[in-house]
Structure 1
Amino acid sequence: MAYLIDIPTFSDERGNLTVLDDKIPFQIKRLFYIYGVDNSARGGHRHHQTVQAAICIQGRCSIINDDGDKEERYELDEPRKCLILETKDWHVMTDFSADAILLVLASTNFDPADYIFTPYEHNS
């Protein structure tokens, strides 16, 4: 299941410094950021191999995650919060504020064959 980690942040009268050193539990192969999102949802997939770390470095957004057993909603509303998404985590990113910038760090390079777009089926 996805989980949140707190990234160390150092604050003083000059501002804030948030440091990722040794906090991401995988080697980073790719990074990208999502911004300027309208009312659309993003994502809607999981991966065969890729683990990801999502940080809303500005503004806020929500990530709805389903690991096949449990669905949970995460609010990313400060840049020290980092959501780790495992391969089994089918996720949708939604409710972006107008100023949101979502930074995503990935454990693999982009490969279209790594994506699984079919959501889990749950028996109610």
Structure 2
Amino acid sequence: MQIYTGIDIVENNRIKKAVEKHGDRFLKRVFTEDEIDYCSKKADSIPCLAARFAVKEAFIKAFSQAFGINLPLKSIEIKGFHRKHAEILLHPPDAKTRSYLTRMKYTFSLSHEKNYSVASVIIYID
């Protein structure tokens, strides 16, 4: 079994500044409509968005180690659920990338607080 890891930490204020400066253009370039909708329902959407950004970056790092491919941010969707663990939904950009998905399993963890969001991803290949 081969194991690949990715980790990312995001200063929440960095995401806040990007949203304030670029608005929907930034949001739609980085997040799916479902992610934007889910986070916008929170009292403070910034930690929610920042945690998703961290997961995407961590997943990109692990996937790049495993397959040498840098995925687009929007091809990774973090699906949130009320009182349940979030899930990663992958939207591979092409058939070659899609073929890699059948060879791997992955797990992740995310956390956020007032100033920072962090995520780690582990990809397993048999």
Please state which band the TM-score falls in when normalised by the shorter chain. under 0.3
TM-score after normalising by structure 2 = 0.27
TM-score after normalising by structure 1 = 0.27
Higher strand fraction (1 or 2): 1
Higher helix fraction (1 or 2): 2
